[in-house]
């Protein structure tokens, strides 16, 4: 079976190896595809099942419908691939941008993985100075994208072997601009969807956007019942509108999992979780 249904279309998967070893699931980087793992596959697959796949919009996988996919959605694809290929609880391995996807996957779906390995993962790129950000966005304009992205990778590939260099530049050249830019933007705009706090701690919801948001876990305000949940005994919280630049603070005393959403953007997937652990 070579295809698995992801959230935004079919994902091309490649399954190899067999044995009792913990299965491994490989998540490639930005501008890449599953072929970047081909040299590793025979080494990993001697005593276990290994799955590599093309992330949404990369390689042979269907492009995301709107060209942009959040890390949370790419992370859901990781779980879809793991279950669609019958991997059970694999160790997920993420490279570069794929490291950010893998991190979000294990944060959101910890019980679906045996572990995680990060290979030169993308770091936290939020909060880049505005000038840097605008220069990067200008360099990603349609008429400049091919040359800019190639120049960036050529710097990284400075001391690479010729065949590696050729392979990486070839897959980069096949990556749709919308997919590449969407991946980078998803890291620039990343907002963790799961955070852990201790009982009695307060959480600040800071609206850094230019539009109004809100947060609530009140099931009465939710369109979809699964977007709102709180542990038994907790009173629902509702921020009301949080204008741009404003902060709403909520103290969490009751341990358990809170699922909350933005009343304006629930339909856009603006749903997240706070896990309140016992104080001691």
Q: Which residues are designated catalytic?
A: 213, 262, 265, 270
Cβ-proximal residue to Cu ion, closest one: 262
Q: Which is nearer to Cu ion, 17 or 192 (CB)?
A: 192
Q: Which is nearer to Cu ion, 76 or 239 (CB)?
A: 239
Minimum Å gap between C-beta 209 and Cu ion is: 8
Q: Which is nearer to Cu ion, 189 or 264 (CB)?
A: 264
Query: Whole-angstrom distance between the N-terminal and C-terminal Cα of the chain?
Result: 47
Minimum Å gap between C-beta 214 and Cu ion is: 6
Distances (CA, A) of 108 to 102, 195, 259: 10, 9, 12
Minimum Å gap between C-beta 193 and Cu ion is: 13
Which two structure tokens, joined as six digits, stand for 31? 């501008």
Q: Which residues contact 179 (CB under 8 A, 6 or more apart)?
A: 56, 57, 58, 63, 64, 67
Helix 97-108 and helix 177-188: axis angle, to 10°?
60
Instruction: Give the integer Cα–Cα distance in Å for 199 and 148.
Output: 48
Q: Which is nearer to Cu ion, 96 or 263 (CB)?
A: 263
Instruction: Give the integer Cα–Cα distance in Å for 276 and 280.
Output: 11
Alpha helices in 127-161 (DSSP H): 130-139, 145-156
Size of the site for Cu ion (CB under 5 A): 5
Q: Which is nearer to Cu ion, 165 or 265 (CB)?
A: 265
Contact 116, 92 (CB under 8 A): yes
By CB under 5 A, what part of segment 105-134 binds Cu ion? none
Q: Put residue 90 in one of left, alpha, beta given phi > 0 → left and psi -120 to 50 → alpha.
A: beta
Minimum Å gap between C-beta 185 and Cu ion is: 17
Minimum Å gap between C-beta 279 and Cu ion is: 30
Tell which residue, 180, 170, 140, has the closest CA to residue 58: 180
By CB under 5 A, what part of segment 211-230 binds Cu ion? 213
Tell which residue, 65, 64, 109, has the closest CA to residue 83: 109
Instruction: Indicate whether 189 belongs to the interface with Cu ion (CB under 5 A).
Output: no
Specify the DSSP class assigned to residue 52. Answer: E
Minimum Å gap between C-beta 53 and Cu ion is: 31
Q: Which is nearer to Cu ion, 95 or 213 (CB)?
A: 213
By CB under 5 A, what part of segment 237-276 binds Cu ion? 262, 264-265, 270
Footprint on this chain of Cu ion (rule: CB under 5 A): 213, 262, 264-265, 270
């Amino acid at each position: 079976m070579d295809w698995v249904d992801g959230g935004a279309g079919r994902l091309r998967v490649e399954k190899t190896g067999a044995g009792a070893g913990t299965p491994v699931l490989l998540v490639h980087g930005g501008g890449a595809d599953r072929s970047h793992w081909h040299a590793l596959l025979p080494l990993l697959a001697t005593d276990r099942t290994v799955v590599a796949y093309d992330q949404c919009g990369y390689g042979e996988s269907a492009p995301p419908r709107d060209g942009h996919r959040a890390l949370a959605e790419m992370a859901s694809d990781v779980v879809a691939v793991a279950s669609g290929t019958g991997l059970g609880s694999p160790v997920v391995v993420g490279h570069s941008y794929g490291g950010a996807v893998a991190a979000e996957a294990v944060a959101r779906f910890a019980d679906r993985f045996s572990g995680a390995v990060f290979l030169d993962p993308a770091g936290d790129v939020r909060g880049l100075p505005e000038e840097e950000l605008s220069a990067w966005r200008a360099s990603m304009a349609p008429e400049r994208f091919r040359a800019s992205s190639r120049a960036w990778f050529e710097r990284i590939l400075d001391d690479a072997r010729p065949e590696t260099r050729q392979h990486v530049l070839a897959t980069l050249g096949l990556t749709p601009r919308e997919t590449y830019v969407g991946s980078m933007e998803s890291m620039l705009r990343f907002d963790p969807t799961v955070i852990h706090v201790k009982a009695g701690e307060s959480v600040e919801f800071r609206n850094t956007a230019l539009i109004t948001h809100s947060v609530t876990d009140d099931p009465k305000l939710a369109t979809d019942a699964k977007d709102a949940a709180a542990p038994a005994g907790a009173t629902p919280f509702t921020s009301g509108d949080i204008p741009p630049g404003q902060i709403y603070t909520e103290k969490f005393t009751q341990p358990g999992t809170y699922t909350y959403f933005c009343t304006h953007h629930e339909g856009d997937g603006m749903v997240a979780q706070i896990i309140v652990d016992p104080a001691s």
